[in-house]
Amino acid sequence: MKKLRIGIIGSGIAARELHFPALKRLENLYQITAISSPHIDHANEFASLCEKGVKTFDDHLKMMKSGLIDVVDIAIPVNFNYQTIKDAFDNGFDVICEKPIAENVQSAKQVIELCTKNPEKILYIAESQRHDPAIESIKKMISKIGKVAFFEYKLILQTKGSKYAQTEWRKSPKHVGGFLSDGGVHHVAFLNGIFGHAESVQAFVGQLSGFTDSYDTMVMNIKYENGVFGNYSVSYALDLQAENEFIIYGMEGILKLEGSKLKLIKENKIYEFEVPYVNFFEEEFKDFYNSVLTRSKSKLGDPFLALEDLEMIESGVEGKRLMN
């Protein structure tokens, strides 16, 4: 099986702790041959975790011109995505890029324009939540609860003391809504995978904590083109141990996701099903690998879907009721 030589741009949390372990487990598909970071000491430290012979660079353009790589993995502060993707395309590389697609919708549309102008290139937006097997499990079960009345998706994500909250680009974010888009695109990608395309959103946002310069809490109502509507609520500010919930209420029953358990509640009976485990990050890289080798563009890494995810969050943050 052909191995792809992959060059990683970035040496932060996503690159080291999410992408690297997945790539290491997929050593039959990938070989990490180069790492680029403007902080060369960070690149060298990251390279020390890899197999011997990984070349480090302080400039991603030098890495792209080195002849050492076949594809590019981008895991950097989101406001640099557009230019880095453009550089990769200009130098002939397919790209897998950590979500969100860009720092705001305007920039995301510029990324889409790059894709339109370079139809032979593959841009795979690594939205891990799209690989959640719970999406397909729910879609298979949803008819059992009859017509959907509404859904509730509630998340309390303790973030204040986390390593993510300590990164400077997240403390003073240039991406719309800060954590609301950084994490929020995961959540709406999950919802969109179940319900389809959103028609409109309406949200309230607030800043309850000072660990970031941006909003940290949002309550959003979403209506989908198929008529389904519901509520997505998230807070990164609360220091509470609370159970996250996703519930779909139907005319004939209820579907409730609790961790890896999907519960069907119907006619005063509870039926429980196990959602199979997969590593989302491994699935992303396997899917990207297949896309590169077959020259086909995967729906799960579709930049247009990534734009829709970001547009929903930006619309909520900025008070735009209707989607474009």
pLDDT in tens, the chain (324 residues): 799 999 999 999 999 999 999 999 999 999 999 999 999 999 999 999 999 999 999 999 999 999 999 999 999 999 999 999 999 999 999 999 999 999 999 999 999 999 999 999 999 999 999 999 999 999 999 999 999 999 999 999 988 878 888 888 888 999 999 999 999 999 999 999 999 999 999 999 999 988 888 999 999 999 999 999 999 999 999 988 888 999 999 999 999 999 999 999 999 999 999 999 999 999 999 999 999 999 999 999 999 999 999 999 999 999 865 444
Homologous superfamily assigned to 4-129+280-302: NAD(P)-binding Rossmann-like Domain (3.40.50.720)
- How far, in Å, CA of 164 to CA of 173, rounded? 12
Q: Three-state secondary structure along 165-230?
A: HHCHHHHCCCCCCCHHHHCHHHHHHHHHHHHCCEEEEEEEEECCCCCCCCCCEEEEEEEECCCCEE
For residue 184, which of 263, 198, 298 has the smallest C-alpha distance?
A: 198
Q: How far apart are alpha carbons 228 and 225 in whole angstroms?
A: 7
Buried b (16+ CB within 10 A) or exposed e, 275-291: beeeebbbbbbbbbbeb
pLDDT of residue 58: 98
Q: How far apart are CA 197 and CA 6, in angstroms?
A: 33
CATH of region 130-277+311-317: 3.30.360.10
In the prediction, which pLDDT does 323 show?
Answer: 46
Q: How far apart are CA 238 and CA 216, in angstroms?
A: 9
Burial class (CB in 10 A: 0-12, 13-18, 19+), 166: exposed
Every domain of the chain and the residues it spans: 4-129+280-302, 130-277+311-317
